[in-house]
Amino acid sequence: MSLKIAAIREHDASERRVALVPDVAARIKRLGCDVALEAGAGVASSYPDASYKDVSIEADRAALLGSADIVLAVEPPPPELVKAMKPGAILISFVYGRNNPDLVKALRDGKITGFAMEQIPRISRAQAMDALSSQATLAGYYSVLLGAVHMPKILPMMTTAVGSLRAAQVLVMGLGVAGLQALATAHRLGAVTEGYDVRPETRDEAHSLGSKFVETGVNATGQGGYARELTADEKAKVRSVLSDHIARADLIVTTAAVPGRRAPRLIDADQIAKMKQGSVIIDLGAEGGGNCEGTKAGEIVQVGPVTIVGPINLPSCLAEQASELYAKNIFNLLQQIIKDGKLTLDMTDEVIAKTLVTYDGKITSDAIRQVVEGPAVSAAPPPSAPTAKG
């Protein structure tokens, strides 16, 4: 019997993405699998049911989940959905286990093999599976467009019959995937751009995009391609350098994040107060608490002279192509675990081992297990046998 791979409709009405697009569905079928889709799952991302060829469209979610060997989703599904899956099945989605302990418990207790797309290791051969990067690319692009909509001026220099308009100054703070894409987009739109990151190795990447790099003298390169948290002295040094650049900016995009922790604070109230009237901050760290003092997740707020936008789930705003990229990320992972139409999990493979959250009734991620189950308690050593006295 062929493996059945099913994509579900997202449970949150604000999530417009879908985990499977028609082109990828056709590729999965070539792996020797049957493909099913919950009715209407792709409609919000411009993929109507009719666009999926040779795919079973099923309206009964419970029946779909109960028969699927592999379930595909975007956002972490509710525990109730996992409980409807058959034991031994596989879930592939974003999980964020430390923030969703009930979901992890449901995966563990139902003996569901859980793959967390946010845990794809950032190594060369896993780049095609890196969903965080694919989605961050679109978020970085859209952040600049969002900023342009809220600015009372244009980004490029423009010459008119009554004089010239100066180009806007754009500062991007945090030069990961999203930040670099934001820099590239702002530069293409004609702004004067500069970038800042605590990892000095991003300097050359900023320069390659036609942008200046803000030098602070602090190196906070961390593990796994992320920045480490700054010390108090380092924060003070960085602040003194950045304040002038912040004050000159018309648009700032902040993208800094530390996995599993609160988003680092990059801009404080005093710095915001010294910015130009009408300037805009797009805070991509809003969901993690915000890179800016005063950011409110999902809201647009006026703080002194500045409009601060705290967008949530920007990739969903570009749902058609965000879904396309995400579905391709999943397909490339499926190729690692499906061979000749059969499921093959190589636990020695770094990608599989690091992406797994649960397997065979156990939580495989140490960090998530500590949050969900608490730290392991060592067994007390047995009492020593009494010695005979002579």
State whether 143 and 92 are in the same domain: no
* pLDDT at residue 387, rounded to an integer: 47
pLDDT of residue 259: 63
- Domain membership of residue 242 (yes or no) is yes
Residues of the chain with pLDDT below 50 are 379, 385-390
C-alpha 282/C-alpha 285 separation (Å) is 9
Would residue 380 count as lying in a domain? no
Token pair 């404080």: residue: 268
155 shares a domain with 287: yes
| 379 occurs within a structural domain | no
Q: Transcribe 210-227 into DSSP letters.
A: T-EE---S---B-STT-B
How high is the mean pLDDT of the chain? 93
How far, CA to CA in Å, does 118 sit from each of 127, 129, 133, 135, 273? 12, 10, 9, 11, 36
Residue ending a domain, among 293, 312, 331, is 312
Q: Are residues 180 and 308 in the same domain?
A: yes
Selected catalytic residue, list 45, 93, 133, 316:
133
Catalytic residue (one of 109, 226, 268, 321) = 226
Examine the residue annotation and report whether 141 is marked as an active-site residue of this protein.
no
Instruction: Indicate whether 250 and 350 sit together in one domain.
Output: no
pLDDT at 198: 86
Q: Is 130 a residue of the active site?
A: yes
Is the same domain home to 249 and 306?
yes
196 noted as active-site residue: no
Please check whether residues 232 and 293 belong to one and the same domain.
yes
For residue 149, being part of any structural domain is answered with yes
165 with 301, same domain? yes
168 and 148 assigned to the same domain: yes
Asked whether residue 127 is domain-assigned, the answer is no
Task: Please say if 16 is a catalytic residue.
Answer: no
Please give the Cα distance from 84 to 89 (Å, whole number): 11
DSSP 190-252: T-EEEEE-S-GGGHHHHHHTT-EE---S---B-STT-BPPPPHHHHHHHHHHHHHHHHH-SEE
Which residue among 34, 69, 130, 283 is the active-site one?
130
Count of domains forming the chain: 2
Residues 307 and 326 in one domain: no
In a domain, 274, yes or no: yes
96 catalytic per annotation = no
One domain for residues 300 and 324 = no
Tell me whether residue 390 is in a domain: no
Please state the pTM of the whole predicted model.
0.91
Of the candidates 264, 289, 312, which is a domain's last residue? 312
In degrees and rounded to multiples of 5, residue 252 shows phi and psi of -125, 135
Domain boundary, last residue among 312, 333, 362: 312
What CATH number does the domain containing 352 carry?
A: 3.40.50.720
Which pLDDT score is estimated for 222? 66
User: Angle at CA 262, nearest 5°, toward 182 and 200?
Assistant: 50
Residue 381: inside a domain: no
Q: Which of 2, 56, 127, 370 is catalytic?
A: 127
Query: Residue 123 has what pLDDT?
Result: 94
115 and 166, same domain (yes or no): no
pLDDT for position 152 = 97
Tell me the residue range of the domain where 25 lies.
Answer: 4-119+319-373
365 and 261 inside one domain:
no
Residue of 122, 188, 203, 248 marked active site: 122
